[in-house]
Structure 1
């Protein structure tokens, strides 16, 4: 019985350890496009299920000029496939792949 309990606890721990998942999101400037006001300046943010979160692990300028008229995150909202997890009120991203290149 103790072995079954131990196996169940280990399986639960392993399943909870990797809460990161791939998902398609809107990616843009939190201040310019999503109306977020908790930070000053232009910062990368994701919108998931109508909720916006600032991003940790990627910078707004990692994808080119943020103020480019056609592709800049301060000017347009772009679709991306991201892998990461929501920690508190921030999204910790490990991978970003823009879908509208």
Structure 2
């Protein structure tokens, strides 16, 4: 309300560390990013906010019998925005979302 001038209040300093805007079509469709190649258990290899690049390992998916382990690798530069909470995944479920750094105004 202070920002809108409805009350008299000094605004605190922003705690936002990074702003990335991606105007490309489909850039906000997070469910399409980094799909699981098989049904099984997902184990992440990264943490939220981590900077990643092409070829970095994002995690692994292991089938129920443990004899098929698939690596999920990053395909773009950016930051880890979301990691699947529940380890059980179905084939094509999104497991990690990367906020791609496309080189626009980043703060």
Which one has a bigger Cα radius of gyration? 2
Q: In proportion to residue count, which structure has more strand?
A: 1
TM range, smaller chain: under 0.3
* Higher RCO structure, 1 or 2 (CA under 8 Å, sep 6+): 2
Q: In proportion to residue count, which structure has more helix?
A: 1
Q: TM-score, normalised by structure 2?
A: 0.26
Q: TM-score, normalised by structure 1?
A: 0.27
